[in-house]
Amino acid sequence: MKRTRITLIGMGPRGLSVLERLLAFARVNGAALELHLVEPGACGPGAHWPQQADYLLINTVASQVTIFPWREAVAHPCPVPTPSLTEWARAEGYRRIGSRFVRAAASDGAPIEDGDYLPRCLLGEYLDWAFRSLLGVLPPTCRLRHHRHQAADVRALPGGGYQVELDSGYCIASDYLFLCTGHCRNQLNEDEDVLARFAREHVRYNDKLAYVRQPYPMAALERIASDASVAVQGLGLTAQDVLASLSVGRGGRFQRVGQRLCYARSGLEPAILLFSRHCLPAAARGINQKGLSGRYQPHWFTRAAIAGLRQRFGPQLDFDRALLPLLLKEMGYAWRCAHDGRAPDPARYTLGAAERQAIEGLLFPLAGRSFAEPAAFASFFQQLLSDDLREAKRGNCASPLKACADVLRDVRASLQEAVEFGGLTPASHRRFLSLYNPIINRISFGPPRQRNAELLALLDAGVVRVAAGPQPSLHTDSERAQFLLRSKFPGRVVEEGVDVLLVARLDPCLPEQDSAPLMQNLLQRGLVRPYCNGPFHPGGIDIDRAGHPIGRDGQAQSALWALGYLTEGAHYYTHALPRPGLASRAVQDADRAVRELFSQLEARQTHRGPAAVAADETL
The secondary element (H helix, E strand) that includes residue 110 is strand 110-111
HEC profile of 151-204: EEEEEECCCCCEEEEECCCCEEEECEEEECCCCCCECCCHHHHHHHHHHHHHCC
Residue-range domains of the chain with CATH: 4-45+125-186+508-617 (3.50.50.60), 195-279+477-503 (no CATH), 303-444 (no CATH)
pLDDT in tens, 327-362: 999 999 999 999 999 999 999 999 999 999 999 999
pLDDT in tens, 263-319: 999 999 999 999 999 999 999 999 999 987 788 999 999 999 999 999 999 999 999
Nearest alpha carbon to residue 272 among 231, 300, 304, 225:
231
How confident is the model at residue 609, as a pLDDT? 52
With beta carbons less than 8 A apart as the criterion, state whether 541 and 517 touch: no
How confident is the model at residue 428, as a pLDDT? 98
How confident is the model at residue 1, as a pLDDT? 63
Q: In this model, does residue 600 exceed pLDDT 50?
A: yes
pLDDT in tens, 284-299: 999 999 987 788 999 9
How confident is the model at residue 500, as a pLDDT? 98
pLDDT in tens, 50-72: 999 999 999 899 999 999 999 99
Residue 610: pLDDT band (50, 70, 90) is very low
Three-class SS state of 548: coil
Q: In this model, does residue 22 exceed pLDDT 50?
A: yes
State pTM to two decimals.
0.94
Helix 324-340 and helix 400-410, axial crossing angle in degrees, nearest 10: 140
pLDDT in tens, 166-222: 999 999 999 999 999 999 999 999 999 999 999 999 999 999 999 999 999 888 899
Distances (CA, A) of 186 to 198, 225, 607: 19, 27, 44
pLDDT in tens, 122-152: 999 999 999 999 999 999 999 999 999 999 9
Q: In this model, does residue 74 exceed pLDDT 50?
A: yes
Q: In this model, does residue 611 exceed pLDDT 50?
A: no
With beta carbons less than 8 A apart as the criterion, state whether 567 and 547 touch: yes
CA atoms within 13 A on the CB side of 432: 27
Backbone angles phi, psi at 438, to 5 degrees: -60, -35
Nearest alpha carbon to residue 87 among 42, 52, 118, 59:
118
How confident is the model at residue 294, as a pLDDT? 85
pLDDT in tens, 438-491: 999 999 988 999 999 999 999 999 999 998 788 899 999 999 999 999 999 988
The mean pLDDT of the chain is 94
Q: In this model, does residue 618 exceed pLDDT 50?
A: no
Residue 258: pLDDT band (50, 70, 90) is confident
Three-class SS state of 274: strand
Backbone angles phi, psi at 8, to 5 degrees: -110, 115
Q: In this model, does residue 86 exceed pLDDT 50?
A: yes
pLDDT in tens, 88-108: 999 999 999 988 899 999 989
Q: Report the DSSP beta bridge partners of residue 488.
A: 493
d(CA 260, CA 218): 28
